[in-house]
Amino acid sequence: MNTVKSRSSWSIFHVIVFLILVAIAVIMVIPSINMFSTALKSQSDVLRFPPEIIPKHIAWSNFSALFNKYDYARWYRNSLFVAFISVIGTVISSAFVAYGFARHDAKAKNALFIFLLATMMLPYPVLMIPQFILFKQLGWMDSFLPITVPAFFGSAYMIFLMRQFFTSLSNELFDAARIDGCSELRQWWNIALPLSGPVLATVAIFSFMGSWNDLLGQVLYLSSSDKFTLTIGMSAMYGSATRLIPWNLVMVAAILAMIPVVFLFSVAQKYFVESVVLTGVK
The answer to whether 93 and 161 are in contact (CB under 8 A) is: no
DSSP SS3 for 180: coil
Please tell me which residue, 14 or 138, carries the higher pLDDT value: 138
| Arithmetic mean of pLDDT, 107-111 | 87
**Among 182, 187, 205, which Cα is nearest to 100's?**
187
Q: Quote the pLDDT of residue 174.
A: 87
Res 83 pLDDT > 90: yes
pLDDT tens profile 174-224: 888 888 888 888 999 988 998 888 888 888 988 999 999 999 889 999 999
Burial of 162 (0-12, 13-18, 19+ CB in 10 A): buried
Q: Quote the pLDDT of residue 138.
A: 94
| Arithmetic mean of pLDDT, 97-111 | 88
**Among 229, 262, 234, 228, which Cα is nearest to 250's?**
234
pLDDT tens profile 32-74: 888 998 888 888 888 777 777 888 888 889 999 999 999 999 9
Rounded to an integer, what distance in angstroms lies between the CA atom of residue 106 and that of residue 100? Answer: 9
The answer to whether 81 and 142 are in contact (CB under 8 A) is: no
Q: Which domains does the chain have, with CATH numbers?
A: 69-281 (1.10.3720.10)
pLDDT tens profile 112-145: 999 999 988 888 888 899 999 999 999 999 999 9
- 42-79 residues labelled b (16+ CB within 10 A) or e (exposed): beebbeeeeeeeebeeebeebbebbeeebebebbbebb
The answer to whether 103 and 191 are in contact (CB under 8 A) is: no
Query: Count of CB atoms within 10 A of residue 191's CB?
Result: 20
The answer to whether 280 and 195 are in contact (CB under 8 A) is: yes
Rounded to an integer, what distance in angstroms lies between the CA atom of residue 249 and that of residue 225? Answer: 19
Res 104 pLDDT > 60: yes
Rounded to an integer, what distance in angstroms lies between the CA atom of residue 163 and that of residue 95? Answer: 8
Show Cβ contacts of residue 83 under 8 Å, excluding neighbours closer than 6 positions.
207, 208, 211, 212, 260
Per DSSP, the residues of 115-173 read HHHHGGGS-HHHHHHHHHHHHHHTT-TTSSHHHHGGGGG--HHHHHHHHHHHTTS-HHH
| Arithmetic mean of pLDDT, 11-29 | 90
CA-to-CA separations, 1 to 8, 13, 15, 142, in angstroms, rounded: 11, 18, 21, 76
Whole-number percent of the chain with pLDDT over 70: 90
pLDDT band at 164 (very low <50, low <70, confident <90, very high): confident
Q: Quote the pLDDT of residue 242.
A: 53
Res 239 pLDDT > 70: no
Q: Quote the pLDDT of residue 233.
A: 92
| Arithmetic mean of pLDDT, 78-83 | 96
pLDDT band at 278 (very low <50, low <70, confident <90, very high): very low
Does the model's pTM come out above 0.75? yes
Rounded to an integer, what distance in angstroms lies between the CA atom of residue 102 and that of residue 109? Answer: 10
**Among 233, 226, 256, which Cα is nearest to 70's?**
233
pLDDT band at 171 (very low <50, low <70, confident <90, very high): confident
Res 230 pLDDT > 80: yes
Q: Quote the pLDDT of residue 8.
A: 55
List the single range of 124-138, 162-176, 230-244 with lowest mean pLDDT.
Answer: 230-244
The answer to whether 240 and 158 are in contact (CB under 8 A) is: no
Res 280 pLDDT > 60: no
Q: Quote the pLDDT of residue 253.
A: 93
